[in-house]
Structure 1
């Protein structure tokens, strides 16, 4: 088995190199684990290029001790997706050392938060233990389709999140804030910049497999129910929030946007989709500036619920449009679906609805185009797993 160490020295607070030199590499040496390579990435997609090249050179499985945030793991997954010339099936096992800003995957796998260095070594300690355990990661492939046949089709792979609407706008705008606000506070600033915007689009949700159903979380039953006997369903906008997760229940340590991934886990690979549509509020019936301003306050309540251990998924409208818990008798504020994929078709005239985020990578759908995302258990024959 090939063992390689890869870390991104500029991710997060730029302490990955120091942490690896002081904590990770000495621990490997103590346990007699000598890496075949130690690589500090020097440019975008360096990690992905490295993993693909190593897989081409060996028929063995590959273990990667990866010091990064979610973005570098996304680069690896996307590089595997695009390396179609590989003819053999392979396995890549990840030992994840969180060094990024949000570290969504690591926070989901190891939810107890701590500033102690030992917290960042949980995956490594499992790998070095007498009985190491790992889980297989699912992936979600997003394809951005042109408006006309023969146009430029782009694709990318998510290990954490694929989204549009507010979340994609936040990620798009937060990049301009990265230098002045390197921590997660930049995401909150970007959220405030976009909180009053609505996004006009149509969505089709498709099941995981033929003859299966798209499922919807029922707040009253606290369980998922089938919403069709089989086949897809369509939802009309406007939307304020549309986000799908894979492998995670949160996007940062306290932001549990998709809590049911952990509390009501799927038996098969699936996307958990969190949707907010403002016209479900019984007191809002038009897309006016006043309606947007009124609903923005409720949008803040919903996002705040994600910070309260995922409380937003059980919020219900009262007859007066207020947001409360189960004592209200109206519709659920959040539509929480579980399915195999989605198709996002933005209105031609809504340029803000044309952003798509795939693990932080931002795409712009051209007018008249669309984006599709689908779940998969591997990436072109490569199985990704993580010690957890």
Structure 2
């Protein structure tokens, strides 16, 4: 299957079409990379295109007419466009199912490779892969280097095509070499995308009413709410500023919910003929005092935490949501162990853990203290993720028995979490998956878990 170009003309500042016509198309034609253009037509249409590509792959495989192992898509859009593409492409795996791992007895689904071209608003995935200071690859071929200079006139356009240039470099080297160095180069520019699966349950129901995947972030509380509110501002404020405007509208909201954290599954070793006993893996909490993660005592049912909450967001990979907003720095600073159980980092902000909020007697005083704690907690994300290193200065209870002081924010490393709203407030019932907003029904809950068995399925070109 040839390269597929997914174009979302409505993404971000609506510059994707002109970028394709003026830069990407003539460049791909000049370097002789065959491609097919698929364009979204309505909001959410990326899922339809994902289903279309999957159906085509299935037909090619069944007819034995060269069904490719990989499907490669250059995505001219934002995080939402790639989210829709993945959701549609793998719609048969988890939709309306309670499972959280790939069925290894079923036929292996195709591998999807994404080449991100950042035409969205936040472009969190692209910004994670290409942080400030990233230098785009330079073609080794003189001719290709000349073509880059001809069609890519600005440094910003060159940055936007970083992943395309990596893919181009791979195509050139793979056609002329099968050496170990070529394999190493591919592994350094192709990154696995661990996925999270979220299921929405109605009150008293054991089967989900909806299930969806996310490859960037899953969130509730302030992050989900500001994205929900920001959609009403998109026409007048298509850029990043609309997120800050939306945040001001919900920064003082106290999101009431019960949160349950799930421990990673036990690890087993089958290296010998006799499998080793399963080894339990604990939920971990980061300590700013020691700069390390420490195990959290928990029952098999997990760890239960009470709100009210300001912020709740999880990711398996992405450290930053904007170029300067590093919300989950520990994914890079202390990366999860290779070969270990699938985990996500979950960041929580609970201003009520401090005396200043808890002991405020007047509503306006509590609201002022609440806002101040939220601004301080999230403001550190704009200082290269320093918020995770701040110690809570006024805990309700002082640490006992030599226990380390708590952080201003809490970062847990776990296999998943369950969010059960305890109020009828609409905002407490919102769940965000890669920017797509979903609703928890009254009395219902959302369960988000890292999906096992998909580590080698979805990849992104760096």
Same fold (TM over 0.5): yes
1:63 has 2:137 as partner: no
Using the alignment, how far apart are the partners of 1:355 and 1:47 within structure 2?
A: 22
1:368 has 2:443 as partner: yes
Worse overlay, 307-316 or 99-108: 307-316
Normalising by structure 1, report the TM-score.
0.91
Worse overlay, 260-269 or 239-248: 260-269
1:4 has 2:13 as partner: no
Cα 1:145–1:69 shift into 2, 3 Å: same
Contact 2:355-2:395 at 8 Å conserved across structures: yes
Using the alignment, how far apart are the partners of 2:305 and 2:5 within structure 1?
A: 45
| 5+ long unaligned stretches in structure 1 | 322-328
Cα 1:378–1:64 shift into 2, 3 Å: farther
The answer for the alignment partner of 1:384 in structure 2 is 458
1:159 has 2:215 as partner: yes
Q: CA deviation at 1:366?
A: 1.4
The answer for the alignment partner of 2:316 in structure 1 is 246
Contact 1:240-1:277 at 8 Å conserved across structures: yes
Q: CA deviation at 1:332?
A: 1.2
Paired residues in the alignment total 379
The answer for the alignment partner of 1:34 in structure 2 is 34
CA RMSD of aligned residues (A): 2.4
The answer for the alignment partner of 2:21 in structure 1 is 21
The answer for the alignment partner of 1:326 in structure 2 is none
Using the alignment, how far apart are the partners of 1:159 and 1:378 within structure 2?
A: 14
Cα 1:45–1:374 shift into 2, 3 Å: same
Aligned residue among 119, 123, 136 for 1:99: 119
Worse overlay, 188-197 or 16-25: 16-25
Aligned residue among 270, 273, 284 for 2:346: 273
The answer for the alignment partner of 2:399 in structure 1 is none
Q: Which string of whole-angstrom CA distances, capped at 9 and with x for unpartnered residues, describes residues 215-272 of structure 1?
A: 1111111111111367421111111111112320011111111111122111244211
The answer for the alignment partner of 1:304 in structure 2 is 379
Q: CA deviation at 1:113?
A: 6.0
Worse overlay, 48-57 or 131-140: 48-57
Cα 1:150–1:265 shift into 2, 3 Å: closer
Contact 2:348-2:411 at 8 Å conserved across structures: yes
- 3-state SS of 1:12 partner: coil
Contact 1:378-1:384 at 8 Å conserved across structures: no
**Superposition pairs for residues 322-361 of structure 1, below 5 Å?**
330-361=405-436
Using the alignment, how far apart are the partners of 1:87 and 1:382 within structure 2?
A: 14
Cα 1:271–1:150 shift into 2, 3 Å: closer
1:168 has 2:224 as partner: yes
The answer for the alignment partner of 1:127 in structure 2 is 167
**Superposition pairs for residues 126-275 of structure 1, below 5 Å?**
126-129=166-169, 130=173, 131-132=185-186, 133-149=189-205, 153-210=209-266, 211-228=280-297, 231=300, 232-267=302-337, 268=340, 269-275=342-348
Using the alignment, how far apart are the partners of 1:190 and 1:152 within structure 2?
A: 30
Using the alignment, how far apart are the partners of 2:296 and 2:208 within structure 1?
A: 35
Q: CA deviation at 1:87?
A: 5.2
Using the alignment, how far apart are the partners of 1:87 and 1:48 within structure 2?
A: 22
Using the alignment, how far apart are the partners of 1:272 and 1:152 within structure 2?
A: 24
The answer for the alignment partner of 1:82 in structure 2 is 91
Contact 1:343-1:372 at 8 Å conserved across structures: yes
Contact 1:214-1:230 at 8 Å conserved across structures: no
Using the alignment, how far apart are the partners of 1:264 and 1:219 within structure 2?
A: 13
Q: CA deviation at 1:176?
A: 0.7
Q: CA deviation at 1:12?
A: 1.0
Q: Which string of whole-angstrom CA distances, capped at 9 and with x for unpartnered residues, describes residues 299-328 of structure 1?
A: 11111111111111111222499xxxxxxx
| 5+ long unaligned stretches in structure 2 | 58-66, 96-105, 135-154, 174-184, 267-279, 397-403
Using the alignment, how far apart are the partners of 2:90 and 2:453 within structure 1?
A: 9
Worse overlay, 62-71 or 150-159: 150-159
Q: CA deviation at 1:378?
A: 5.6
* Larger helix proportion of the pair: 2
Using the alignment, how far apart are the partners of 2:53 and 2:196 within structure 1?
A: 23
Q: Which string of whole-angstrom CA distances, capped at 9 and with x for unpartnered residues, describes residues 318-341 of structure 1?
A: 2499xxxxxxx9531100011110
The answer for the alignment partner of 1:324 in structure 2 is none
